Amino acid sequence: LVTLTLLNLLNYVDRYIFAALIPYIKADTGYDDAQLGWVGSAFTIIYTVCSPLFGYLGDRYRRGRLVAFGIVIWSLATAAAGIATNFIQLLLSRSAVGIGEANYATIAPGLLSDFFIKARRGLVMSIFFAAIPVGTAIGYLSGGYLGAPERMGWRHTLFLVGLPGLLTAFAAWFMREPTRGAMDDEATGQTPLGWWESNKVLLANRGYVFASLGYAASTFALGALVFWAPEWLKSDKGLNAEQANSVLALCAIVGGFLGTMLGGVIGDWLGKRIKGAYFWVCAASCILAAPFAFAAVIAQDRITLTINIFISMTLVFIGNGPVNALLVNLVPAYLRTSALGLVVVIIHVLGDGISLSLVGIVSTWLKEHQAALPGFAVSIGNLSGLNPGTQTLSMALLIMPLALLVGGVLYLWGLRTKEGQQV
């Protein structure tokens, strides 16, 4: 658990330091919001496409060796982004980061689940996924501080954080391989199904499908926030890059860590008392987070902004451990890594694979049409207290609370399924 959690921490530092560097990259290169949105989406697309492949491999081969391969790929690609000399090179290097991180995100949770019994997986997954807010915060802080031109600059920062990851690949290579399904009440040694047959079985599981769709909706919202927040706080809320990254780091490391750990404790506690406990926790986290996400987007002062980002992040992260425990508990052990690979496709194709570029496109479009904004944009601005001509990222980020509400409804539908009542 300790080894995999530390590797996950490094995974998210490498992933989100790029978001913290966006203001510096824009100033240095002149790339606009739409272009940088496509860089984020390219990472997500490659990450998504590769995940089923690693899910398939993870159900058949030694998972520690596969994880080591992924670490090498994402570390080299992160460093390569620092020496990119044009937009295409930057796009390709960040896309390659997606290959390595798809490997880890798909294989590691299934590997971890084979070390612990089902009743403890909510807390175990919460500890593992607590690396997300902590790694995100470290990424924001280090990127915001080191990326400044008067310090290391964005290029040297990416190079610095990329290469040390190569050393950690050794820890993964020599990790003990547990028996698949050894901690579950089911026979082990089941012959893995073919790729097509595996996906047919998974998509016939309605509880798994609704859990995946709910996860996609929350990923749509959270992905847009964590990618665009440094630039949004700078351009729309008047913070400089270091202030923006400090606010985000505080909210991520405290709110995200607190929410993730609470989610695991609450989910496991409820799981001993009611059926569908993890579905209830996930639904509540999304629905309760939505109004605070809306309040954060329309906030006009720094204190109100910070409080609402903190509360909404805490609530969204409450669902993080439970949804991953839910996904591994809903499927048989011999399909677990394939299930995690497929869910990565679902959450990114329908989640941040859309939202990252959508927010950038909407923001750029509003800037280009300041002189003649359509009536609906003016109406939304009037209702929310935003200026649609200047607070363009805020206008685009109004999609976040809506996505969270949709996610909550999808989790509640999952609760009504036969599978949802059995976990």
Q: Domain containing 204 — which CATH number? A: 1.20.1250.20
Confidence at residue 245, expressed as pLDDT on a 0 to 100 scale: 74
With H, G, I as helix, E, B as strand and everything else as coil, classify residue 193: coil
423 vs 71: CA distance, rounded Å: 33
pLDDT per residue of the chain (423 residues) written in tens, 0 to 9: 677 788 888 778 877 788 788 888 888 877 777 777 788 778 878 888 888 888 778 777 777 788 888 888 888 888 888 888 888 888 888 888 888 888 887 888 777 777 776 666 677 877 887 888 788 778 878 887 788 778 888 788 888 887 777 788 777 787 777 666 666 655 455 556 666 777 788 888 898 999 999 999 999 998 888 888 888 888 788 787 778 877 877 887 788 888 888 888 888 888 788 888 889 999 999 999 999 999 998 888 888 989 999 999 999 999 988 898 888 888 877 777 788 888 888 988 888 878 888 888 888 887 777 666 665 556 665 555 566 556 778 888 888 999 999 999 999 999 888 776 666
Number of domains comprising the chain: 1
pTM to 2 decimal places: 0.73
CA proximity to 130, closest of 313, 298, 269: 313
- Read off the DSSP letter of residue 348: I
Show the domain range for 355.
Answer: 2-171+198-422
Domain assignment of residue 405, yes or no: yes
Domain assignment of residue 181, yes or no: no
Tokens, residue 95: 């896309």
Domain assignment of residue 318, yes or no: yes
413 vs 420: CA distance, rounded Å: 9
Residue at 78: amino acid letter = T
Domain assignment of residue 185, yes or no: no
Is the CB of residue 221 less than 8 Å from the CB of residue 408? Answer: no
Domain assignment of residue 13, yes or no: yes
Domain assignment of residue 319, yes or no: yes
Q: Which residue has the tokens 């658990």?
A: 1
Domain assignment of residue 177, yes or no: no
Domain assignment of residue 333, yes or no: yes
